[in-house]
Amino acid sequence: MKANCHLFSIPIYSFSKEEYEKRYRVFIAKQVPKFYESEERLKKTADARAVLRPKDVWLYNQIIGYIRVSLASQDVLFEVYMPLGRKRYQAFSNRKSYMENWHLNGYHFRFGDMSNEQITHEIREWLVAISKIEGLKRRHVDITVFDAIAKFIDFRALIDDMQKED
């Protein structure tokens, strides 16, 4: 294999869906004054939600980084990309940051003679472990993305095909 084969990227959100929804409810409550009658308040709240709800591609908040999963000749590699120099992320912001590779040593495993099921399980275990490292443990690594697509990927066949090309 001449170069790494990028399989997919797992999004890292600034916080979980539940935390986002909680913050969003507080934000909307501040936008609609409490002196409105209950029916009028409901209408104003619905109007505020329609205007203020993020309309971007992500499900519920800022994607602040990625875990990139790639295949090398004998390994599955994991690279973490996060913004340069950002410590805080606002819930409602349109500010973008440059991404950098954290260059984490040792974030790979040899697949050797593993079966497809073993490779899938091992990748998932590594994603869970990476989500717990310093700098990510307060973030939300969306492993459901991997769970949704992994069942359709035959890693073993992909590896074998790539090794034939060498």
Q: How confident is the model at residue 115 (pLDDT cuts 50, 70, 90)?
A: very high
pLDDT digits (tens, 9 = 90+) for 41-80: 667 766 766 655 555 444 556 778 899 999 988 899 999 9
CA distances from 84 to 43, 100, 138, 160 (A): 41, 6, 17, 37
Question: CB-based contacts of 64: which residues, under 8 Å, 6+ apart?
Answer: 12, 13, 14, 82, 83, 86, 89, 97, 139
User: Which among 4-8, 51-55, 75-79, 103-107 has the top mean pLDDT?
Assistant: 75-79
